Structure 1
């Protein structure tokens, strides 16, 4: 199967698929119909083209989650430029790296964010313009017609976040974005009547796809920058939200909050990626939102999205990642590239047209992750070797085991942190838990656990119950040697628990405790 066999259009054509009478955007960002979205995309593209940048030049946006942030992915592509969205939560040093690494020719940002940068933080020749300039461009003037970009033309560079090392930019083509949008709209069964609350950063592949997949279905996106779970609940009620996407830490916050029954009943669809939900969290979501379809999903920026579990299978297989999404081929492989047997752990390898074009300006790391597809692939070409260990059962359902570099090796046993964490989260009173492998002279690595309990309970008693519950649920070699209770977990800019920072901050203290 070749990319030429699959209908693909330039990503800036997407607004034309919507229902013109329906809203494309709503909420605090202001309201736009699809016809207005198309007009503003055309005008913003004309403004960008007016700078005279060479085709393929990079334009970065570092703006709040409003109309400019929503339209930039389409307008930059229409102008023949490559969009580089920057997470608003990032600070000067991280932003300066992204601008320099991408070689950005233009930065569109709020005036306050531009003021945090030194002149040396902008690459040579890079111009910085405030959102006010863009707002003027959107008020009138001639617009650019839809582009005729090739499917494999570069459309965006999304930088992955991390606590250590430099963020790396994943190169996405028009085909990557288009097929990701239509695939997700298809399996989520989105329609023009759906209203999607976009709480995730648009710089995050999962967050940006909320825009594109909703518009592919003709639905309405309601962008929201939130501070608390209560902000999300209020937005669901005020905007009659039908669909909410999140990552596990957000779901933990939401299930701990108080939901009016009529507000919870508005949600018809919940989607999760960025980490496994686990049995305990699935049970809580089912209880709080009994009428909502739940879609557990697995993805990686290098291939956008790989698998999803249909709602009908969630109760029977709450820990499964599901099967491949449309346009994705997922193989579970041994180190030699051969396909594993049922229930045999192996590396998840993603093949097909959703595979990105590699890391921007980083051939060494590209060669590590993007390698020729296994011989069993129907697509061939380049594949993403994820580094994640999974199992495939006889029904073809996949279960996440862990990242190879995150597996805990203790006394000759390979232990999945996910399995330990899910056992902890199934115990009443446990809100969140993270298992780490810490160097131990006798064991090689010992299992240590960081845990946050639900507010208002006796933490000493809860810790005793946790230890007792884990002794029942886990074999001895998986039992945490140390348990540390903390008030909150650090987060990455995308809202996930920052495991790298936790390992860095708690590793030394834990090694002293286990000496």
Structure 2
């Protein structure tokens, strides 16, 4: 058995902490000893399917203890886990099934209908007993009690994750067993996680940030408390009732937490148990930081920046969150970061360039997508004008992230935009993120804002702002305020008010700019 896999954590926890609660969800709990037993039962059944090594197995279900068992069971075989968030529509699930040839799907009663819509011809396993022809976890737990052992290699494929964005079809990113264990080690280190911690499992488990909560909990023999965020009040009850000490969040969830009237929010004393909050996946605003510190008096707040092609690049030390809240921090342990311009030279302080990630936590590449892989995974030669590679092996791989950032004089990084998001207008390259940040700061009555472009033959692209707020704001007022902070070529030429903005179906943290763009183009045409 490789030491570089999650499976070793489950086995070791069973030896040292068999009676400790590993996972809790509402009124249900499972110990580390029972967790290994059930994981082994499901893994044994999966192996009896006799699928070829490396076969992909999808999980398309609600959050719960059974879902975590399914994840760990697949990782205890030589098959590959493909998480499918329950927010995906049938046609999106069908796309992923075909793209990576999923041979088996583990699901629940509610999602069986969606699977039937796409006429999936592989194996189906349900948590609950639903039909005589569909095996269930209930039956597996009852009848499969034979000893199970496995050999997992750290370099083997472990997970393929997909994220449906705003345009086009996604490509799966391939993650090895070693990637999973390395990410658990490094996060546990810099967050100072302890055995006594209770981690909130509020993130969905379709991407590495969510999955990492499971693996960090296993790594430290801590407890994972599962919860699905629907209402802020229920979420706070989860934190209080489950004695949560560590919370991983998306920025949009931080905003949603404090949407309630102040008298409905719990007192800081009730939340004093929380010691760590992390945020990744978007911009952290000073308002978010202020609210977190007001209601979580003992918290260390970590703002982080992750990649599609590697687990994580940066984190901002909590001591800096009030000094530079908009910074994404510095490199995490075992990572070197460089900012280079189009000529391959290292950028000067505050000069915007592309972020290059060197060192640990780099994933294996995009599934069956050599062009996309070649675009992101580069030879160390890309840094030949930045570092001395004389005498070093020339086949080292780094990640050209496609993220535009800059570094200040003290070495802290600041995110500007994704390469694909940049708008070309009037001969300038404009970051939508930069305009959106100014809107958040200078127009506090705006709830949500999306900046994107539409074609304009005279100036290449025309900048559009679509926003939501309690009531419509005269466009001239918005333009007047933005002109105080932005160059003239960055001012949106079209400003559109909507009561609410559509979100990406598979990621409720992202505004669906593509849908907004199509609506606008349809109205123009």
8 Å CA contact 1:72, 1:83 repeated in 2: no
Count of residues paired in the alignment? 499
Partner of 2:438: 423
Q: Is the 8 A contact 1:157 1:169 kept in 2?
A: yes
Tell me, yes or no, if structure 1 residue 141 matches structure 2 residue 149: no
Map of 1:446 onto structure 2: 462
| TM-aligned CA deviation for residue 459 of structure 1 | 4.1
**Higher relative contact order by CA 8 Å / sep ≥ 6: 1 or 2?**
1
Residue 152 of structure 1: CA displacement?
1.1
SS in 2 for 1:236: helix
* Offset from partner CA, 1:389-433 (integer Å, 9 cap, x none): 111223221111111221222323322222211211123323322
Asked whether the 8 Å contact 1:439–1:511 carries over to 2, the reply is no
Equivalent position of 1:477 in the other structure: 489
Q: CA deviation at 1:364?
A: 2.3
| Structure 2 residue 420 is the aligned partner of structure 1 residue 405 | yes
Q: Tell me the residue number matched to 2:353.
A: 346
**Does the alignment pair 1:496 with 2:509?**
yes
CA distance in structure 2 between the aligned counterparts of 1:419 and 1:112, rounded to whole angstroms = 41
Take 1:143 and 1:510, find their aligned partners in 2: how far apart are those partners? Answer: 64
Contact map agreement 2:24 2:65 (CA 8 A) in 1: no
Q: Is the 8 A contact 2:229 2:235 kept in 1?
A: yes
Shift of 1:464: 7.0
Q: CA deviation at 1:63?
A: 1.5
1:357 and 1:299 map into 2 onto residues whose CA distance is 16
Q: Secondary structure at the match of 2:483?
A: helix
Contact 1:45 1:78 in 2 (8 A): yes
2:204 aligns with 201
The corresponding residue for 1:245 is 248
Contact 1:9 1:175 in 2 (8 A): yes
> What is the aligned partner in structure 2 of residue 3 from structure 1?
none
Rounded Cα–Cα distance in structure 1 between residues aligned with 2:284 and 2:199: 20
Write the distance in 2 (CA, Å) between the matches of 1:321 and 1:480. Answer: 27
Provide Cα deviations, 1:290-334, integer angstroms capped at 9, x if missing partner: 432111111123212111111111111111111122233322223
Corresponding position of 2:133 = none
Establish whether residue 291 from structure 1 lines up as the match of residue 293 from structure 2: no
Q: What is the deviation of 1:208?
A: 0.8
Change in 2 beyond 3 A, CA 1:120/1:412: closer
State whether residues 39 and 143 of structure 1, in contact with CA within 8 Å, keep that contact through their aligned partners in structure 2. no
CA distance in 2, matches of 1:185, 1:466: 44
Quote the Cα distance in structure 2 between the aligned partners of 1:91 and 1:511: 29
Q: Distance in 1 between matches of 2:418 and 2:287?
A: 22
- Once the two structures are superposed, what CA deviation does each residue of 1:39-90 show, in whole Å capped at 9, x if it has no partner? 2222221121121122211111111111222122321121211111111111
Tell me which moved more, 271-280 or 55-64.
Answer: 271-280
Distance change in 2, residues 1:229/1:501 (3 Å): farther
Query: SS state of the match for residue 252, structure 1?
Result: helix
TM-score by length of 2: 0.88
Aligned CA RMSD, in angstroms, stands at: 2.6
- Counterpart of 1:4 in structure 2 is none
Contact 1:250–1:495, Cα closer than 8 Å, also in 2 = no
* Distance verdict in 2 for CA 1:155–1:165, change over 3 Å: same
Q: What residue in structure 1 maps to residue 499 of structure 2?
A: 487
In the alignment, structure 2 segments of 5+ residues that lack a partner are 129-135
* Structure 1, 72-81 or 7-16: larger mean CA deviation: 7-16
Query: Equivalent residue for 2:8?
Result: 13
Cα separation, 2, equivalents of 1:172 and 1:349? 19
1:127 aligns with 2:123: yes
